[in-house]
Amino acid sequence: MPTQLELALEVATTQCQRWKNRKVRYRPPGEVFNPSCAEVVRLPERDARSFTREHHYSGSFPAARFCVGLMVKPRLGREYLGGVAVYSVPMTQSVIPAVIPGLSPSEGIELGRLVMLDTPEVGVSNAESWFIARAHRMMRHHLPEIRGVVAYCDPIERRDASGQLVKRSHTGVIYRASGCIFRGLSSPRTLLLTPDGQIASERALSKLRTGDQGRDYAEAQLRDRGAPPRRQHETAVDWLQRLRADGFLRPLRHPGNLRFCWHWRTPHETAKL
């Protein structure tokens, strides 16, 4: 019997994934994007954060370094923000060298979020690839030291505690169509899900366990998702263990995310190929 990962890779090869109000939507292939109604701009981080939190399924925003927006000018109506690309700091220093051999951590960046609306102007098959190419170009102009971009796709769907689907599989169809290189799966791991089906960030949980800076915010995030408060004299470690024992944090075995990269070689590197 095929695994969920195999099924996701099989069925999601012809659809265009879009977002609105944190709900995934799919558009049929074959629709044509009209670039004359669009403009790619550098976007203030606050605007990118607001758009991403409103529309991306995770409701979260990464540690951004550079943000690009897709401004849409319809024939009728007002101009609006139709898409956002957020280039962010990778989770660890080892990410870039592992995904793009030969690059140092400072020479790479992560495409932490790519969010496109499903409106008639940008919810079409080639809008994403058009936007990605120009977002990369703008990012490299402002960050000339960057020679590679990594991106991850989570191919596993997630459900909340009641069984409702909160996230469909994402297999990176648009990344492959945009000339990136598939670099296999990241390491398998066990995720912890909150009742709403969202991932409890391992980085945030680690800050809670160790008492590092950001621990109060990490605790507040869990409380906002419905976690009971800590008991008097209860340590953060004991609290997290109680959340797991009570079922607030549900384990999900994950096979690893799909890894992709774009790598811009120097003329010297190209000559050696």
Residue 166 lies in a domain: yes
Range of the domain at 47: 4-187+254-265
- Do residues 211 and 147 both lie within one domain? no
Residue 273 lies in a domain: no
Question: What percentage of the chain reaches a pLDDT higher than 90?
Answer: 65
Residue 135 lies in a domain: yes
Which tens digits make up the pLDDT trace of 22-44? Answer: 555 555 555 678 888 999 999 99
What integer best gives the mean pLDDT of the chain? Answer: 87
| CA-based nearest residue to 39, from 3, 72, 14, 6 | 72
- Do residues 51 and 155 both lie within one domain? yes
- Do residues 112 and 242 both lie within one domain? no
Residue 192 lies in a domain: no
- Do residues 107 and 179 both lie within one domain? yes
- Do residues 52 and 162 both lie within one domain? yes
Q: How many domains does the chain have?
A: 2
Which tens digits make up the pLDDT trace of 55-100? Answer: 988 888 999 999 999 999 988 889 999 999 999 999 899 999 999 9
Q: How far is CA 61 from the centre of its chain?
A: 9
- Do residues 59 and 181 both lie within one domain? yes
Neighbouring CB atoms inside 10 A of 88's CB total: 17
- Do residues 220 and 258 both lie within one domain? no
- pLDDT band at residue 185 under the 50/70/90 scheme: very high
- Do residues 107 and 222 both lie within one domain? no
- pLDDT band at residue 4 under the 50/70/90 scheme: very low
C-alpha span between 207 and 221 (Å, rounded): 12
- Do residues 181 and 62 both lie within one domain? yes
CATH number at residue 163: 3.40.630.30
Residue 196 lies in a domain: no
- Do residues 172 and 224 both lie within one domain? no
C-alpha span between 191 and 198 (Å, rounded): 10
129: exposed, middle or buried (Cβ count in 10 Å: 0-12, 13-18, 19+): middle
Say if residue 11's pLDDT is above 60: no
- Do residues 131 and 176 both lie within one domain? yes
Q: Which amino acid is at 135?
A: A
Residue 96 lies in a domain: yes
Residue 270 lies in a domain: no
Residue 33 lies in a domain: yes
- pLDDT band at residue 219 under the 50/70/90 scheme: very high
Q: Find the mean pLDDT for residues 170-192.
A: 91
Question: What percentage of the chain reaches a pLDDT higher than 70?
Answer: 86
- Do residues 136 and 219 both lie within one domain? no
Q: What is the DSSP string of 21-61?
A: TTEEEEE-TT----GGGEEEEE--HHHHHHHHHHHSTT---
C-alpha span between 38 and 108 (Å, rounded): 28
